[in-house]
Amino acid sequence: MKPKILITDRIHESAIKEAKKFADVDLDIGCSNENLVKKIGEYDALIVRSATKVTKDVINASNLKIMGRAGVGLDNIDVDAANKKGIKIVNSPEAPTIAVTELVFASILALMRNIIPADRTIREGRWEKNLFRGNEVYGKIMGIVGFGRIGKEVAIRARAFGMRIMAYDPNITKEDAREFNAEQVELNTLLKNSDIITIHVPLTEETRGLINEGRLKLMKKSAIIVNAARGGVVDEKALYSALKERGIGGAALDVFENEPPVGSPLLTLDNVVLTPHLGASTEEAQINSGTIVVEKIRNFFRGQ
């Protein structure tokens, strides 16, 4: 007998097709919490993204064996309640790895070569070549804060650009770093020496405000910082002051403490590149986020 899967958030059609190969699949996109509580008892598995809130009430009303989130975090799932009922949880943190990595380098190059203001002036009918002398990334020191999947992919590409790499991550060894041509250092050492700093850590009690006023003051005045991880890791008030006072050279932010960052003073600065949480927004990453979760659910039901 095939397992029954309910999908309540939009995932890529290719993932749905894969799920239908081994399961009976129902779609109820945008299902309310009230209706989800009423119907969840019929299903063996649930697939969500971020819109659906899998609350304790939903979990207690269910007979789920497994649930999957097509994405990185599990913020919208009551993990404790699921664990108490013995429901396995899977997600797809590996799906956006390449997409986020490539956005980091797009942001770095946009900052270093003044691409956004240069584009703007041409559209305004001005040809101000002399205003936009930039800097090369070749020969610069890349500091990677967090050396997991994305941090390692960043290191590979930084090496291809001819950069020297420093890595900070309390969970790696010097040998782990060396495998990716990186030097393992303490955070303050990384901040003092790097020309480009990129953040790749989750938001936890330990990492909230990790890049604060004191640590920003350690950076070179010419250095830039990129955050495509989580907004709360960087203290935005301190970052604004550092940028406004030219204490650092620039910043690229794909994530914010509040999203969207309505009224943020960071929007008024010209040495910042801002994107609306586009890290995972590629066709390939969207396909992967759904298909990886579906594959994990399929393997679960096949006992793999």
How high is the pLDDT of residue 75?
Answer: 86
Bridge partner list, 45: 5, 66
How high is the pLDDT of residue 72?
Answer: 86
Q: Does pLDDT of 28 surpass 70?
A: yes
Residues 63-105: tens digit of each pLDDT? 999 999 999 889 899 999 999 999 999 999 999 999 999 999 9
Active site residue 277: yes
Q: Do domains 4-92+283-301 and 97-274 have the same CATH topology?
A: yes
Residues 108-144: tens digit of each pLDDT? 999 999 999 999 999 999 999 999 999 999 999 999 9
How high is the pLDDT of residue 196?
Answer: 98
Q: DSSP letter at 266? A: G
DSSP symbols for 200-228? -----TTTTT-B-HHHHTTS-TT-EEEE-
Pairing of strands 196-199, 272-274: unpaired
Query: Which 3 state secondary structure label does DSSP give 43?
Result: coil
Q: Does pLDDT of 236 surpass 90?
A: yes
Q: Does pLDDT of 253 surpass 90?
A: yes
The domain locations on the chain are: 4-92+283-301, 97-274
Task: Decide if 243 contacts 272 (C-beta within 8 A).
Answer: yes
Write down the catalytic residue from 179, 206, 259, 284: 259
How high is the pLDDT of residue 252?
Answer: 98
Q: Which residues contact 21 (CB under 8 A, 6 or more apart)?
A: none
* Distance in angstroms (rounded) separating the CA atoms of residues 17 and 37: 26
Active site residue 230: yes
39: pLDDT confidence band, cut at 50, 70 and 90? very high
Q: Does pLDDT of 256 surpass 90?
A: yes
**Which residue, 94, 86, 95, 90, is CA-closest to 77?**
90
* Distance in angstroms (rounded) separating the CA atoms of residues 254 and 274: 6
Q: Give the domain 97-274 fold.
A: Rossmann fold (3.40.50)
CATH superfamily of 4-92+283-301: NAD(P)-binding Rossmann-like Domain (3.40.50.720)
Q: What is the mean pLDDT of the chain?
A: 97
Write down the catalytic residue from 69, 230, 236, 295: 230
206: pLDDT confidence band, cut at 50, 70 and 90? very high
How high is the pLDDT of residue 304?
Answer: 66
Question: What's the mean pLDDT in 232-260?
Answer: 97
